[in-house]
Amino acid sequence: MPSDTLSMLGERILLALWKSSAVGTRSVGEDVLRTQLADSSDSLTQELETLQTLGFILRSNGRNEFSLTPIGLAILRQIEEDKLQELR
């Protein structure tokens, strides 16, 4: 299960990218993510690097913009399905 290995911050980042329509070639800057997540710590930068290493997000335009990959979308969908199952 993805939510077992992914941190809460990682889940929040994936969801924030989805809500910002940052998918594929459309990207969102790290500063926008920090504002949306209300997180100014270094843990955000570390988590972005982890998500990129896992192949869930793509870094573009140097190092400052991010978007979801197809794998990231699939993981986000699985996380949301798991949450719905918990409600039942």
pLDDT 10s digits, 11-70: 999 999 999 999 988 999 999 999 999 877 788 989 999 999 999 999 987 778 999 999
* Rounded Cα distance, 50 and 55, in Å: 9
Arithmetic mean of pLDDT, 64-80: 94
Give me the pLDDT at residue 18, please. 95
pLDDT for 4? 59
How many of the other CB atoms lie within 10 Å of CB of 77?
A: 13
- Tell me the CATH number at 35: 1.10.10.10
Cα dihedral sign, 75-53-19-88: positive
Q: Output the CA angle 41-31-17, nearest 5 degrees.
A: 100
Asked whether residue 30 is domain-assigned, the answer is: yes
Q: Domains in the chain: how many in total? A: 1
Residue 55's domain comprises: 2-83
49 vs 4 pLDDT, higher one:
49
The residues with which 28 forms a beta bridge, in sequence order, are: 66
Q: What angle do CA 43, 82, 53 make, to 5 degrees?
A: 35
pLDDT over 50 at 10, yes or no: yes
